[in-house]
């Protein structure tokens, strides 16, 4: 019976991702926790879930030439070593997952709050960046690997942020980048990041393969269905609801 519930959970999250384009990790990890899955297992399994579900999207975006590979590589220069380093610190610095549960809880709450802000205000922040004299191409290119480091640490600890936060950062710091290139570049970066972090958690023993299979069975058709339904539901209604839910969950994890 639990296997069926996990399939339904994957379907629910897949539907939300198809409808809104965001919310995979930020919805899946809290949902798994609600099912009683241990925190470290929820985070580790969700990371591999994200890597596998987004892989096909990378192929599509690559064929459509909507990936800015130069920006993806700049982000990855910071995020992938940061993800690997975070895993090594968890392995060497703590005796058991219970010892770093508090760190993951705080990171999860903080990242969920930041994700909700990114969903609500990313367009407004991008407009501000366009008018700012401090956002120059040279400065931004130098800063991009640093942004990758921040993403690498938080995504590895929380499984959240590879989508919505990375998208917001690209829109803010590369305001002249077309929306389709923002999405393509974000997806292309999210797959190796979540894969490295997910394999790291697998090495730590934080991945449930049976759970992962059930989530994939539910999510893959649901993402497609959600994408088709998205045409009939105005985005201005969906995103505020998603942002409010994530912010509420994030406050609970960060402060309580």
Task: State the Cα torsion 247-115-54-66 to the nearest 10°.
Answer: 140
Three-state secondary structure of the chain: CHHHHHHHHHHHHHHHHHHHCCCHHHHHHHHHHHCCCCHHHHHHHHHHHHHHHHHHHHHHHHHCCCCCHHHHHHHHHHHHHHHHHHHHHHHHHCCCHHHHHHHHHHHHHHHHHHHHHHHHHHHHHHHHHHHCCCCCHHHHHHHHHHHHHHHHHHHHHHCCCCCHHHHHHHHHHCCCCCHHHHHHHHHHHHHHHHHHHHHHHHHHCCCCHHHHHHHHHHHHHHHHHHHHHHHHCCHHHHHHHHHHHHHHHHHHHHHC
| Lowest mean pLDDT segment, chosen from 61-65, 90-94, 198-202, 214-218 | 61-65
Whether 25 contacts 193, CB under 8 Å: no
For 1-38, the pLDDT digits (tens) are 688 889 988 888 877 776 655 656 777 888 888 888 99
Which pLDDT band, with edges at 50, 70 and 90, does 241 fall under? low
164-173 and 101-131 helices cross at what angle (nearest 10)? 30
Mean pLDDT of 214-238: 74
| Lowest mean pLDDT segment, chosen from 159-163, 203-207, 239-243 | 239-243
**Region for residue 177 given its phi and psi (left: phi exceeds 0; alpha: psi -120 to 50; beta: otherwise):** beta
CA pair distance 33, 77, nearest whole angstrom: 32
Mean pLDDT of 248-253: 60
For residue 45, what pLDDT is reported? 95
For 213-223, the pLDDT digits (tens) are 999 998 888 87
- The closest of 87, 108, 104 to 199, measured between CA atoms, is 87
pTM (2 d.p.): 0.84
For residue 236, what pLDDT is reported? 65
Q: Using the predicted structure, report yes or no on whether residue 230 has a pLDDT greater than 60.
A: no
Q: Using the predicted structure, report yes or no on whether residue 142 has a pLDDT greater than 70.
A: yes
């Amino acid at each position: 019976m639990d296997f069926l519930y996990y399939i339904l959970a994957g379907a629910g999250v897949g539907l939300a991702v198809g409808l809104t384009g965001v919310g995979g990790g930020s919805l899946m990890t809290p949902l798994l926790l609600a099912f009683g899955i241990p925190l470290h297992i929820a985070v580790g399994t969700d990371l591999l879930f994200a890597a596998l579900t987004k892989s096909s999207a990378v192929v599509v975006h690559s064929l459509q030439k909507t990936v800015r590979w130069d920006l993806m590589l700049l982000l990855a220069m910071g995020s992938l070593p940061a993800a690997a380093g975070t895993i090594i610190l968890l392995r060497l610095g703590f005796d058991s997952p219970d010892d770093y549960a508090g760190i993951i809880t705080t990171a999860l709450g903080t990242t969920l709050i930041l994700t909700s802000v990114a969903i609500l205000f990313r367009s407004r922040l991008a407009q501000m960046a366009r008018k700012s004299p401090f956002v120059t191409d040279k400065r931004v290119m130098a800063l991009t690997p640093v942004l990758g480091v921040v993403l690498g640490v938080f995504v590895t600890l929380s499984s959240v942020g590879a989508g919505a936060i990375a998208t917001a950062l690209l829109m803010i710091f590369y305001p002249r980048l077309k929306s389709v290139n923002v999405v393509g570049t974000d997806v292309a970066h999210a797959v190796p990041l979540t894969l490295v972090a997910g394999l790291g958690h697998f090495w730590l023993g934080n991945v449930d393969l049976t759970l992962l299979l059930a989530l994939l069975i539910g999510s893959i058709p649901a993402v497609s269905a959600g994408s088709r339904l998205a045409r009939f539901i105005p985005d201005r209604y969906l995103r505020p609801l998603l942002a409010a839910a994530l912010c509420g969950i994030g406050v609970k994890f960060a402060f309580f």
